[in-house]
Structures are given as structure tokens and as C-alpha cells.
Structure 1
């Protein structure tokens, strides 16, 4: 669905038809990604009780309007969209950079639960990745794949061919790959490139520098001491093999938590569990959300 906000035409993806009598779960994708990320989750067990929605944040997907340069600006966008939809006390899920947006948003609205997946705090992004993200999106995505992907899924993920926003491979011939970022020769392992396509396609945006803008906002995002002390109903999901957002048990966000109940560690998986081990993350999210009143 499309919402007319003050400065935006916001795209809201409905996993299942929206029903204003149901509690709403809002998914916020990671840096440079959009609502298509939600299509990689299977939350069908929840559809009878919950709306499952994903917001295309400013500069992402089909949302049009000015670029938002800070986590706080994205939270403000979400608040306006929630008010327009008349959604009260949502459950928020955010992955990586989207987890920071969800965390910030949780300090500004009433929420039933907020689930932050694969986040670090502070979330410091290195200069090399920032440079890649601004000047060479393909290199930036390859960096994220190198350090973020621990394993390929056991079952190959099927995706549609060439489509919206240039998201698709035309084909392959002798190592030459026609990808969302143009044609390139992959000499080492063209099959790997094909296997990574279902996740790489999610970074292809009309606004080509949006990954750079998002990643920079990670570096500057901080909560006040008061906001941290007032955090409530937050669940954190970390991945054992995540090199991009490593679990730190001494992190200030985790100091007052019941680590057995509020922190979930995914074994043998990297930064993108919905790609690497979809059955595992689907079960974790379904179990958590099912407990929401």
C-alpha cells in the first residue's frame, strides 16, 4: 500500500492483507535494503493473529521523497507512517541498521516488543566499507558478503528473473555474469555469484548512494543514558559467526537484561540468518511474536 505523508509517498509492504483489527508487526530492513527482505521470511504461522508489514524507509524501495540522513529521521518517518495507519503499540523487528532504527523508535513510542537482529552498539562502520558504499556498490556488497555470510542455505533460494529496479540476472556465459550492477567477469567462482544473488539483489536501489548514507548514520547513532536506562521489552538476536556485528556480553544495552530470556544466539550462522538459515530464524521470530498479547 502507498501512504501520503507530509514529505513522502511511503511504500508499506503487506506480507498478508492488512486487517486493522489485528496487532501489527513492523519489519525494518538493514542498510541499503528494502521491503523485499521480508519476502525471505516465512511467518505464515502468525498471519491469523498479526499483520506483518515492512516499511520502505526514505531512499529505499518504492518510497519517494527526501533522503533521511540520521537514524532519528528514519524514526520520525516511521512514527508518521504508524500514525497514518492508526497502528498502536506495534511489535518492531529490525535487522542490522534497521535494528538501530527499531531501537531508537522503541524509545519514542509505546510498543509491545522490539526485536533487534544482528546489531552492534555503537555500530562503527570502517572507512573501507564506507568508501566502497559511496563509490562502488558492487564492491560494498561483496565486502558485506565476504564478512557477513558464513554459509549458504541448504536449500537453494529461488528468485524471479529480471524485474523491478533492475533486480535480476539475465544469464551467465563462461564466467560472465549480468547482474543488477552491470556485466562483469567472475573468474574465480561464478556459481558462488549465482548463489548469492537472492541476497545481493536486495541492495539494488534507485538511490545508488543509499547504502553509504545508511552506514554513515550507524557511526553517529547514540542513545542518551536516560534512553538506555528506560529501554524495555527489547529482545536481541545475535549470530555466532557474525563478523559484522559481533556479540559483546558487556555491551551497555545488555547490562540489565535477563540474558537467558532476552538474548538469543543463533548457532553456526552469520550476519544474514534469513538467507543462511531461514528455518532457524523463522522459528525464533514465530516463537517470540506468538507470545505478544
Structure 2
């Protein structure tokens, strides 16, 4: 699906189905240095089970034009602009890693326009290690190696994959390589600078799920505690979902488990 927002071309994947705003809408927000393709499996599952899916390439990423936005707040406002552009009054928001911060902040800004919130591989705050920030600015190849090492389980790094014959770390490397120069550094800096996450979480008034991977090194379960506690006292509380035997890149390492968790939460909520 191709759109124009503020005179900038934007691409959004719709899961292989024509976008129908009359169906329950789910917006899938990708993480740092990525694009819509990290959601391919989940987007198709949702689109073929009664949902209208929008998995956009954020500005400056993938097939979308413009420059990458430099703050989580700006990205959240952009999500609102996207919903306005496609004529969607309400939507569920799902975000992975950086995308989870965008979804969280957008839910705060959009209030009643958000129906459900799914935070996948999320912590708040989300500090980024100084060596990774430095590598993203000056040595992308090293940054990509660091991200693969921390995002995937040892088995995946040795070649295990739910898709026979496919290297998950190889695919992720190519995905990051095809992003424009400076995109990863801008995204990681935005994550590192965002300090409003816990305050935003305390304002949430919709059913919320925290989907955590058992072997996540980037946003480990013990680091999720402050965000969980900020959400647990809200009127809707928080539903914790654990994805076994997967790391931070859980949508690729455990595609069925993540898809099932998302559908189950959306339907139950």
C-alpha cells in the first residue's frame, strides 16, 4: 500500500490483503534499523484472520521516503498522521523494541483512538550501550554484528531456523544493510534519549500485553519489571506473555508463537 504523507511517499504492508478500514485495524511498528518486513509472518496471519493490517516503513526506512525522525515522540505523532491519512478512527497498536516505545507514546497521545496495546521486546527506559551507539554512527558493519549477537539465540546464530535453509542472522544483516546511512544511529539515539516511557505507561487506559522472549538479551525479562509495574496499576492492568526459547528477534525465531500470542490477546481483550 503506497501513501503520501506531507508530500513524502510512504509504504505500508497490509499482509497480502487489501486494506479494509471496516475491519479491526492493527498497526505493526518495526524497530531500529528495520522495516515492515520483520512483521511479514505476523501481518499475513492477522490479515487472513479478520484484521486490517498496516505495517508501515517508518520515514526514511525501507520503501518510505523522507528522513528518519529523531525522537520517539515525533514517531508517535507520525503514527497519528498515518491513521488520519487512511481514515482510521481507532486501531490496536503493536510495536517491537523501538517500535514498542513508539506504540506506548502513541497510545498516550491518541488516548481513545487506541483499542489495544501490544509491547513486544520492550523495556522503559530503553538505554542503548555506548559501544553500540558509537558503532552505529561510525562502523555499521560492527553494529550489525553486535545486534545479531544480542538479538538471536546461540542456536539461531549456528544456523537453526523455522524456515529450512534460511539464515536468520544473514537475513537480518541484509535487512539492516539496505537501510540508508544514518538510519540505525538515529533510531538507537531516539531509544536512548526517550525518558517518558514509565509516565506514558501509567496513563494507559486500554488492555495491554507485554510479550517477552525467554532468552532476550536486548530487553531481558528482569529489565521489564519497571514497565510492568507502571502498567499493572492502570485500570486495564497488563497481560504478560512469555515466548519460550527465543531471543529479542522473536518474530523471526518463534513466528508461530508470537502470532498466536498476538491473536489470542487481541481476541480475548
Aligning the two structures, in what range does the TM-score lie when normalised by the shorter sequence?
0.7 to 0.9
Superposition deviation, residue 260 in structure 1 = 9.6
Residue 124 of structure 2 is aligned to residue 121 of structure 1:
yes
Which protein shows a greater Rg? 1
> Map of 1:10-29 to 2, 5 A cutoff?
10-15=10-15, 16-29=17-30
The structure richer in helix per residue is 2
> Map of 1:181-220 to 2, 5 A cutoff?
194-220=167-193
**2:141 aligned residue:** 138
Structural RMSD (CA) = 2.3
Residue 210 of structure 2 is aligned to residue 236 of structure 1:
yes
Superposition deviation, residue 257 in structure 1 = 1.5
SS at match of 1:41: helix
**1:185 aligned residue:** none
Residue 253 of structure 2 is aligned to residue 250 of structure 1:
no
Deviates more, 1:283-292 or 1:55-64: 283-292
Q: Is the 8 A contact 1:14 1:53 kept in 2?
A: yes
Superposition deviation, residue 200 in structure 1 = 2.3
In 1: Cα distance, 2:127 partner to 2:198 partner: 19
> Map of 1:274-293 to 2, 5 A cutoff?
274-291=251-268
Residue 154 of structure 2 is aligned to residue 147 of structure 1:
no
Q: Give 5+ residue unaligned stretches, structure 2.
A: none
In 1: Cα distance, 2:46 partner to 2:179 partner: 33
Superposition deviation, residue 136 in structure 1 = 2.0
Superposition deviation, residue 21 in structure 1 = 1.4
**2:242 aligned residue:** 265
**1:65 aligned residue:** 66
Q: Give 5+ residue unaligned stretches, structure 1.
A: 160-193
Shift in CA distance, 196/67, structure 1 to aligned 2, threshold 3 Å: closer
- CA displacement 1:227-251 (0-9 Å, x = unmatched): 3321132211111211111123631
SS at match of 1:92: strand
TM, length-normalised to structure 1: 0.80
Shift in CA distance, 196/87, structure 1 to aligned 2, threshold 3 Å: same
Shift in CA distance, 87/241, structure 1 to aligned 2, threshold 3 Å: same
Residue 39 of structure 2 is aligned to residue 2 of structure 1:
no
**1:227 aligned residue:** 200
**1:184 aligned residue:** none
Q: Is the 8 A contact 2:210 2:240 kept in 1?
A: yes
Superposition deviation, residue 48 in structure 1 = 4.3
In 2: Cα distance, 1:20 partner to 1:288 partner: 20
In 2: Cα distance, 1:22 partner to 1:241 partner: 35
